[in-house]
Structure 1
Amino acid sequence: MPLRDLLLGLAVIAIWALNIIIIKVGVAEMPPLLMTTLRFLLVAALLVPFHPVARHQLPFLLLLSVTFGTLHFALLFIGLGQAEAGTGALLVQMGTPFATLLAVFFLRERLGPKRLIGLTLSFAGVVVLAGGPTLPSPLPLALLLLSALGWAVSQLLIKRGPNIAPLALAGWVALFAVPQVALGSLLFEGDHLEAMRQAGWAGWGAVGYTAVMSSIVAYGLWYGLLHRHPVNRVVPMTLLVPVLAVLLGVLLLDDTLGIHKLAGGGLVVAGIALIVLRVRPRRAEA
């Protein structure tokens, strides 16, 4: 991979890792479902007018808005409001093991010994994280794992669904997710106008960053890399996201870095590495 593309990949990883920190800061400024709604409104406004889709693709996008928009993103924002940023970043990475299990059950993909060990290590890491002091109750653990499950289901739907350009998919999913998340905000959150008035630059900046930098800029660069290089050279870089998010949480938010987070996070990252990394057998020399 050329140095330019490597630097672009690392820039995307940094954007996504910082996104976890930004969400944590944002949900301290305004209610999480309100912030998610505003984020989706901005993404839809910036993308939908420039990325039309066919009418027959709309039911698929509506379904994806439930799993990817509401289940993944809304629960991620709520969960990060109750857990440390680094712990949240590690738990959300469980989307990869969940997607692997779903592919085995529903797509009849084979689960070899290496991936089985990876799954075991990942779930063992969650058990260690759950026993640590960074999760004050089972609720954030459940919310973040459900968010990871929503991501996993969405990946399988995208894999089996119609071929839609990534930015078109992001825009229309955001558009269809707006009323779902807004309804949740109306039912479970209050004083919306006051919350928006009270939100400072950090809250509104978080809305802008999660919409523009994380959803549009980062994904645009990422899919460009996937187009130019083999998947097995690009995707493993995502293993750096939780590691960097944990470090940023410690540096910027004074998160703790105890034995539970180090051990549990190490198990999760090691397990995901076994799942996503492909080891090619060495060719016998002539």
Structure 2
Amino acid sequence: MTPKDLALGLAIIFAWGFNFVVIRWGLDDMSPMMLGGARFLILALVGSFFFKRPNTPLKWCILYALSLNFGQFALLFSAMTFGMPAGLASLVLQSQAIFTLIFSVMLLKEYVRPYQILAIGVASAGLGVIGAAGEDTTMTVLGFALTLAAASSWALGNITTKAIIQKGYDANLSLIVWSCWIAPIPFFICAYFVDGPASMWSDIVHMNLKTLATLAYLSVFATLAGYGLWSYLMSRYSAGTVAPLSLGVPVVGLTSSAIVLGEQITYQQWVGIAIVLLGLMMNTFGGRLLRQSRA
């Protein structure tokens, strides 16, 4: 990877890791459902000028939007509202890799290799250590559970993406952008019934520069630019070269949350974090190491 492309990759990882701090700021001014709906509405409005409609049938666009866009972020934003620290959220959300493997076996009948089973076991043990942290932590059980649910929704979105690709339809930035026209609908419906119309209107009329900057970061910078540059790197290099960079997301998320938000992590949680990262690294690098040992 050239120095310029490596710098681009690191910039993306920083943007995605710092994304959790920005979400925390956004939730200070808007409810979870209004923040999610506004984010995807802005992304759809901006992105539709640059990307044509995908050839993906509507039913697949709806499944994609409900899992990756609505399900993942409705649960994640709710988790961070109900006591999930931003830094830990950036790590626990990476358990989507575990759920993706499990769902791929259950729904797509894919074969899972022994090293992946071991990786799932290690990462799951780490999540157990984090979840079993005592009362001296700021993390709540509800926040932790909702984050795991968000990761499972992300995994279902990954399975949907695989199915779309297998059927020969578009599963690229065009799908990401145009599915964002669908996601705000369930977000705003939930906001109406959970928050009420008065609260929805209050979130709109009390938008300030901070709120608008937060929405711009989440929609345009972290999503549109981030995934666009990620796709560029994936088109130039092998997945084995680019994908390991994503392991830096929880590192940036944990570090930036500690520095900017002053979040404290207990010793037990640090142990769990290390175990989860080990499991994720085993899943990412295990196949490559096995091929090299056989060679």
Deviation at 1:28, TM superposition (A): 1.2
Q: Which residue of 2 aligns with 1:222?
A: 230
* 2:109 maps to amino acid: R
Partners in 1 of 2:145 and 2:269 — Cα distance?
A: 17
1:151 matched to 2:151: no
- Residue of 260, 264, 272 corresponding to 1:252: 260
Whether contact under 8 Å (2:93, 2:150) holds in the other structure is yes
Once the two structures are superposed, residues 205-246 of structure 1 have per-residue CA deviations (whole angstroms, 9 ceiling, x without a partner) of 211100001110000000000000000010011011001100
Distance change (3 Å), C-alpha of 1:239 and 1:136 = closer
* 1:205 maps to amino acid: A
Distance change (3 Å), C-alpha of 1:16 and 1:146 = same
Q: Which residue of 2 aligns with 1:89?
A: 90
Partners in 1 of 2:282 and 2:128 — Cα distance?
A: 18
- Residue of 213, 216, 236 corresponding to 2:221: 213
* 1:250 maps to amino acid: A
Q: Which residue of 2 aligns with 1:43?
A: 43
SS of equivalent to 2:57: helix
Partners in 1 of 2:259 and 2:54 — Cα distance?
A: 46
1:52 matched to 2:56: no
Distance change (3 Å), C-alpha of 1:118 and 1:184 = same
Distance change (3 Å), C-alpha of 1:104 and 1:196 = same
TM-score, normalised by the number of residues in structure 2: 0.91
Q: Which residue of 2 aligns with 1:119?
A: 120
Shifted more, 92-101 versus 186-195: the winner is: 186-195
Once the two structures are superposed, residues 102-134 of structure 1 have per-residue CA deviations (whole angstroms, 9 ceiling, x without a partner) of 112222332223211210111111111112244
Deviation at 1:199, TM superposition (A): 3.9
Whether contact under 8 Å (2:32, 2:77) holds in the other structure is yes
* 2:253 maps to amino acid: A
1:63 matched to 2:74: no
Partners in 2 of 1:98 and 1:107 — Cα distance?
A: 13
* 1:4 maps to amino acid: K
* 1:18 maps to amino acid: F
Q: Which residue of 1 aligns with 2:281?
A: 273
Distance change (3 Å), C-alpha of 1:122 and 1:192 = same
Distance change (3 Å), C-alpha of 1:54 and 1:244 = closer
Q: Which residue of 2 aligns with 1:182?
A: 188
* 1:150 maps to amino acid: S
Distance change (3 Å), C-alpha of 1:54 and 1:281 = closer
Aligned pair count reads: 284
* 1:112 maps to amino acid: R
Partners in 1 of 2:138 and 2:62 — Cα distance?
A: 33
* 2:30 maps to amino acid: M
Whether contact under 8 Å (2:115, 2:282) holds in the other structure is yes
Whether contact under 8 Å (1:68, 1:154) holds in the other structure is yes
Once the two structures are superposed, residues 33-69 of structure 1 have per-residue CA deviations (whole angstroms, 9 ceiling, x without a partner) of 1011110110110122443335662211011111112
Whether contact under 8 Å (2:56, 2:175) holds in the other structure is no
Give ranges in structure 1 of 5+ residues lacking alignment.
Answer: none
* 1:268 maps to amino acid: V
SS of equivalent to 1:93: helix
Distance change (3 Å), C-alpha of 1:47 and 1:86 = same
Distance change (3 Å), C-alpha of 1:247 and 1:34 = same
* 1:241 maps to amino acid: V
Deviation at 1:249, TM superposition (A): 0.6
Whether contact under 8 Å (2:54, 2:174) holds in the other structure is no
Shifted more, 92-101 versus 113-122: the winner is: 113-122
RMSD: 1.7
Deviation at 1:90, TM superposition (A): 1.1
Whether contact under 8 Å (2:54, 2:170) holds in the other structure is no
Whether contact under 8 Å (1:121, 1:271) holds in the other structure is yes
SS of equivalent to 1:117: helix
Give ranges in structure 2 of 5+ residues lacking alignment.
Answer: none
Partners in 2 of 1:270 and 1:28 — Cα distance?
A: 33
Shifted more, 91-100 versus 51-60: the winner is: 51-60
Pairs within 5 Å for 1:93-172: 93-132=94-133, 133-134=136-137, 136-161=139-164, 162-164=168-170, 166-172=172-178
Partners in 1 of 2:53 and 2:66 — Cα distance?
A: 18
Whether contact under 8 Å (2:55, 2:170) holds in the other structure is no
